[in-house]
A and B are shown apart, each in its own frame.
Chain A
Amino acid sequence: METQERTINRLETTALTKGLMARYYEDLRNSKRDGVLLGWTTGPVPFELMRTMDLRFEHLESYGAYLAARRGQDKLKRLSEDDGYSVDVCSYARLTQGVAMLEDMGDTTSVSPELLVPKPDFMLGVNACQIMGHIYDFHHRLFNVPGFMIDCVPTWREEDFERNVAFTRKQMEKVVTFLEELTGRRFDYDRLKEIMGRVKEAALLRVECMELSKNFPSPMSFFDHLISLGPMHVWRGTPESVEYFKKLKAELEIRVANKVGTLSSERHRLYFDNLPIWFKLGAISEKLGSLGTTIVAGTYTHRCFYGYEPENIDLDDPMDAVARELTYLTWIFANVPYRISQIAQIVNDYHLDGLLIHSARTCQIFDIGQPDIIDQIERKIGVPGVIIDGDPTDPAYYSDAQTETRLEAFVESLDARVK
């Protein structure tokens, strides 16, 4: 495969996320000053309910991704490891454990202050995986603040889905009681409806952006979708979130009209499964770009964060949508046959010719079934796949040379299929 220089055309709108995320973390750091309660959260917790109560919230996984690309993460992980936690423990968890330990020690100098989030006033968690439960316990014991753990039942069978939605919903109602007791205020259901309206509006716009990315050449990559998660994640339910996706959609429409793609020359379009390798997004997209290859869609971006049928969000019953979203995440990740069916559908819809699957060393629950996914997709729709080894945030489990060799060899094998 000849590596010619190809530039990746970056979207202007995605640059806005930098400011949004900086503002989000600044708000977290200023919680005490502003007299707003701050929660530390783990797993797919209902941000909408906390937003309804005007609470601020840190979120373990997005915080881990934020820390991953920044200097000082070694120090944070080291604190967790020094405390006896294995290097194989979820790297998101180890990073935030480090932050928690620094906060507990009152150490504000070992890492840059922008990396730190103040001690929580409350905790909210979902035991979406075993580690989430343990990390919640760790923080809860350390800070000894009020907390609520949402019990989440993985949906192994399709016929259990509605039953599990009902179970999650009951938990959500308990979360409301918890938040009311925490704040001493009544939960405003009309406010929730209003927030959910914005969630739906942003989610629908995001789906329209996904639809536009089906074009040839694709105007938006999986990497752009990843960068755009902040507005649909910790910012969801806000006017800023809706505004962001309006701008993004408008920019994509111009690109489509002018036939401008992420790559100036797009030869192959891939699918990405599993969590991203946050600290290597640039390197992987550049490497693939140099091979005339782009990643157009992925499970994480296209099925999570209200990516699945947001048109069904019932604004007259916003609690249902909140419960449904959380339950859906346990279905897409726990149920491999369902995940395979969704991947096959997306691969067909987006006209993709290969799967790139990340085997995340410290997130083994999401790694379940990867060889089966590759075999089944190849068998069902004749699209091949390759696995790359890495980790969401820990560079110790990643090798540039090995990844590059796999990507090049995979693209070369796609080229050979085309011939």
Chain B
Amino acid sequence: MIVAGIDVGSLTAKTVLIDETQKILASSIVLTRAKSRKAAQEALDKALNLAGLKAGDISYTLGTGYGRENVPSPNSTLSEITCHARGAFFLIPEVRTVIDIGGQDSKVISIGDRGNVVDFNMNDKCAAGTGRFLDVMAHALEVDLNDMGKLSLQSKKEVQVSSMCTVFAESEVISLIADNCDIADIIAGIHTSIARRVGSMVTRVGVREKVVMTGGVAKNIGVVKALEKELGVTITVPKEPQIMGALGAALHGLDRAIKEAAGQ
């Protein structure tokens, strides 16, 4: 039995394929761009290709993420909060807090002993403390988004970026560039700004170890370090943090497929 979990986010669409033993067969990440339906299909095709499978081999598809309605013929859907919790718990059973920072939102999920969602907190309708915030800052600094993490580690004297608002922070960063501040110091300041914003969301839900970070921003070592400093805990990042939602979706999909097969 092959099950697909497809997570269509604002910036990327992800697919994870698993078999009935919960073994991950393949995963993929593609850019969502303007068409989330097309991106969902592309992500699925890519994963099928990697696993050497065909669309007809899939027994069950579960969609998640903001574009979950655009997943090609899903059997069911679930919110990304439930899916991120499940994906992180599957790989790291000791997890009790998940910090997920994606393209357009950040979430903190408190997890129970069974991998269930006990509580969660999300950012409001604002890009502060999200992947989009970093994207805008990378653009203002003329650096590659993927290089921000390691660049920030070279910082010797972090500067303070006080604005939380993406638009204000961008103009603040431009002023810092004009003042000839070191790029690495500015980036470190940006990461601390995100950590402060997300840190208060974590505190609200309650920090319980183990803390796992998922989502695309978890690939930025600078943000991870800034959050560790802010919260005073060690943060574990799975090997591929961006696919946690799709993995959780696939695992829930498998549960449902088994239930359906048993006629429940």
Contacts and interface: CB of A to CB of B under 8 A. Distances in A.
A108 interface: no
A405 B204 CA distance: 19
Contacts of A264: none
Contacts of A345: none
Interface string A204-229: 00000000000000000000000000
Nearest to A417: B116
Nearest to A1: B78
Contact of A405 (B76, B79, B116, B124): B79
A402 B77 CA distance: 16
Contacts of A70: none
Contacts of B20: none
Interface stretch (A174-182, A314-322, A407-415): A407-415
Interface in A286-301: none
Contact of B125 (A389, A413, A417): A389
Contacts of B60: none
B7 interface: no
A3 B116 CA distance: 20
Contacts of B79: 1, 405, 408-409, 412
A267 to B, nearest CB: 16
Interface residues of A, number: 22
B125 A409 contact: no
Given A409-B82, A412-B81, A413-B82, A401 B66 contact: yes
A148 B33 CA distance: 57
Which of B66, B76, B79, B120 has most chain A Cβ within 10 Å?
A: B79
Contacts of A408: 78-79
B82 A402 contact: no
B116 A416 contact: yes
B75 to A, nearest CB: 9
Interface in B105-158: 105, 112, 114, 116-120, 122, 124-125
A349 interface: no
Contact of B122 (A2, A384, A402, A417): A402
Q: Is the interface of B mostly helix, strand, loop or mixed?
A: mixed
B66 A412 contact: no
A417 B122 CA distance: 20
A406 interface: yes
Contacts of A239: none
A397 interface: yes
A37 to B, nearest CB: 43
Interface residues of B, number: 20
A1 B81 CA distance: 11
B120 A389 contact: no
Nearest to A416: B116
A244 interface: no
B80 interface: yes
A409 B109 CA distance: 10
A413 B120 CA distance: 9
B76 A413 contact: no
Q: Which of A359, A409, A412, A416 has the most CB of B within 10 A?
A: A409
Nearest to B114: A416
A409 B81 CA distance: 6
A227 to B, nearest CB: 27
A412 B114 CA distance: 14
A152 B54 CA distance: 70
B113 to A, nearest CB: 12
A262 B207 CA distance: 39
A7 interface: no
Contacts of A386: 120
Central interface residue in A1, A406, A413, by most chain B CB within 10 Å: A413
Q: Most A CB atoms within 10 A — which of B81, B112, B120, B125?
A: B125
Contacts of B204: 371
Interface of B: 66, 76-82, 105, 112, 114, 116-120, 122, 124-125, 204
Interface of A: 1-3, 359, 371, 384, 386, 389, 397-399, 401-402, 405-406, 408-409, 412-413, 416-417, 419
19 contacts: A2-B76, A2-B77, A386-B120, A397-B125, A398-B125, A405-B66, A405-B79, A409-B79, A409-B80, A409-B117, A412-B78, A412-B117, A413-B117, A413-B118, A413-B119, A413-B120, A416-B82, A416-B112, A416-B116
Given A405-B81, A409-B117, A413-B116, 10 more contacts: A2-B77, A389-B124, A402-B105, A402-B122, A402-B124, A402-B125, A409-B80, A412-B82, A413-B120, A419-B116
Query: Closest 9 CB pairs between A and B?
Result: A409-B81, A416-B116, A409-B79, A408-B79, A413-B117, A2-B76, A412-B82, A399-B125, A389-B124
